[in-house]
Structure 1
Amino acid sequence: MTEPVLLIPGLLCDARVFLHQILHLSQHRPVMLLQPTGATVEEMSLRLLPQLPPRFALIGQGLGGDVALDILRRVMDRVTRIALLSTDPLTEAPQVAAAREARMVAARAGWLFQAVAEDYPAADMGARRAEVQALLHDMADHLGEGVYLRQSRAMQRRPDQQKTMRRANVPALILGGTQDSLVSRRRHEFVAGLMPFAELQMLEGAGHLLSVEQPEAVTAALERFLRGPMLLR
């Protein structure tokens, strides 16, 4: 039987960020959406463990990719493959953490939507910019300031997963956008180079929120990856 696929959304995102992927991937395999909760990436992954099936594939975007890697660290023998979308698995640089802190201060002062707009720069987005921005606004309104602050703090304090990636004896897909100013092509190349069985795919003209900006291309890439051979262990 085809393994279940677990989707983990990123910063201040819910199931809608994976709507196209859920609709299409679920035609061929079980699909679960895991909403991360907790104050740190490690706590988020720990809280998700009871929900995990015996064997599964992982797909995470942004913060969701960091959580997926921490799940991989904990239960690598149960993960059949992993796809990381727009994911930076290294610790946050001091200047980036400082800028994030300023956005968190703004969110506490009632400027949540403006803070989120800085987290997902409009200049990175392609032809679906208006659609992506409207979705981000709706998800921010639904999830709220508290979730934003907790997840932002988790991003600030995320662990360095280089050791996990070097040990990852599973097929991996590293998917990024050429217009992403938050996670560069160079960072994606570095991640793919660390993982023994990783392939890198960059989507032309896409920014950080790949699954919404180019849903058809992301779904096609994931379908191909999920249908690929599994490693015998």
Structure 2
Amino acid sequence: MIRILVADDEPLITAGIRTVLESAGDIEVVATVTDGGAAVAETVRHRPDVVLLDITMPVLDGLAALGELRRQAPDVHAVMLTSFGTEPNVLRALQDGAAGFVLKHCAPDELIRAVRAAHDGDAYLSPEVTRLVLGMVTPAAGRRHEAATRLTALSARETEIAGLVAEGLSNAEIGRRVHMSEPTIKTYVSRVLTKLDCANRVEIALLVRDAGPPVRHQERRPGAASP
């Protein structure tokens, strides 16, 4: 069973999330709380596998609670809950180590997939969520150049894998797309994380987005002029 803690200050939202998750059969909600301080305390107490954190909560908001969880329960995966288009700090949450985030109005099966992905060490980004996150900030020219330069450290295959991660695909989905085993994809993703100095898959997605079109790996003929 995947053990979950849900932190949200809206009782109806919490009740709905519990119903959806426990209908999956392999997920158990071990605790629900209504503020970020309680989320940290109950996580330390129950040691769930995954914590769902609303970004807007009393006592400690989701971002502050995420920071405390990183210090007090670093093995727990956190997925942020947000309302569409209302959370300007969601990028910071992802960059601070969240395993991903889901919208409160998402389909039930999407919420279940997000929890399972976080439990497996992946990040879940649905296409709608990806557009929300990546559309929040328009890349400056300097950041685009920096991101593209960092991506040149990857091989052609690693660049392809990074692009599929940026689409929000899981390791299993990437494996099916490129006809490789899931363990092989996991090895590639780990290598990409190391080469790009990214903390998680979401940071890979942000970097690929900032870089723009995929970097093409071309062999330069001896004596050829630089473009």
TM-score by length of 1: 0.40
Highest RCO, 1 vs 2 (Cα 8 Å, sep ≥ 6): 1
TM-score by length of 2: 0.40
- Structure number with larger C-alpha Rg: 2
